[in-house]
A and B are shown apart, each in its own frame.
Chain A
Amino acid sequence: MSFRPDHELHRRRLSRNVGVGLTLAAFICLVFALTVVKVTRGEPMQAFDHVVRPELLKAPDQ
Chain B
Amino acid sequence: MSDIQGYSQPTEAQFGDYVALLKPRVMSLVVFTALVGLLVAPVGVHPVIGFASILFIALGAGASGALNMWWDADIDAVMRRTMGRPVPAGKVQAGEALAVGLSLSGIAVVMLALASNLFAAGLLAFTIFFYAVVYSMWLKRSTPQNIVIGGAAGAFPPMIGWAVATGGVWIESVLMFMLIFMWTPPHFWALALFMKEDYHTAGVPMLTVTHGRKETRRQILIYTVLLAPIGIWAALTSIGGPFTLAVTVVLNAIFLKGAWDIYRRDETVAEGDKYLVEKKVFKFSLAYLFVHFTAFLVEAVLKTYGMGGW
The reply to whether B52 and A16 contact each other, CB–CB distance below 8 Å, is no
Contact of A37 with B by CB under 8 A: yes
Contact of B4 with A by CB under 8 A: no
The reply to whether A37 and B46 contact each other, CB–CB distance below 8 Å, is yes
Q: How far is the CA of A14 from the CA of B41 in the complex (A)?
A: 43
**How would residues 108 to 146 of chain B score, 1 for a CB under 8 Å from any chain A CB and 0 otherwise?**
000000110000000000000000000000000000000
Given the known interface contacts A12-B9, A41-B46, the answer about A34 and B14 at a Cβ–Cβ threshold of 8 Å is no
Contact of A13 with B by CB under 8 A: yes
Tell me which residues across on chain B come within 8 A of A12, comparing CB atoms. 9, 12
Contact of B15 among A15, A30, A36, A37 (CB under 8 A): A15
Contact of B14 among A15, A30, A41 (CB under 8 A): A15
**How would residues 81 to 123 of chain B score, 1 for a CB under 8 Å from any chain A CB and 0 otherwise?**
0000000000000000000000000000000001100000000
> Which residues, 17 to 39 on B, are CB-close (under 8 Å) to A?
18-19
The reply to whether A15 and B16 contact each other, CB–CB distance below 8 Å, is yes
Give the Cβ gap from B116 to chain A, nearest Cβ, in Å.
10
Contact of B269 with A by CB under 8 A: no
Tell me which residues across on chain B come within 8 A of A19, comparing CB atoms. 15, 18-19
Q: How far is the CA of A4 from the CA of B115 in the complex (A)?
A: 44
Contact of B55 with A by CB under 8 A: yes
Contact of B13 with A by CB under 8 A: yes
**How would residues 1 to 38 of chain A score, 1 for a CB under 8 Å from any chain B CB and 0 otherwise?**
00000000000110110111000000000100110111
Contact of A34 among B12, B18, B48 (CB under 8 A): B48
Write the chain A residue with the least CB distance to B107: A27
Contact of B254 with A by CB under 8 A: no
24 A-B contacts (beta carbon < 8 Å): A12-B9, A15-B14, A15-B15, A15-B16, A16-B13, A16-B14, A16-B18, A18-B15, A19-B19, A20-B15, A30-B52, A30-B55, A33-B48, A34-B48, A34-B49, A34-B52, A34-B114, A34-B115, A36-B48, A37-B46, A37-B48, A37-B49, A38-B49, A41-B46
Which 7 pairs from chain A and chain B are nearest by CB? A19-B15, A15-B14, A37-B48, A15-B15, A12-B12, A16-B15, A33-B48
Contacts from B to A (Cβ < 8 Å): 9, 12-16, 18-19, 46, 48-49, 52, 55, 114-115
A19-B19, A30-B52, A37-B49 known, 19 other contacts, Cβ within 8 Å:
A12-B9, A12-B12, A15-B15, A15-B16, A16-B13, A16-B14, A16-B15, A16-B18, A19-B15, A19-B18, A20-B15, A30-B55, A33-B48, A33-B52, A34-B115, A36-B48, A37-B46, A37-B48, A41-B46
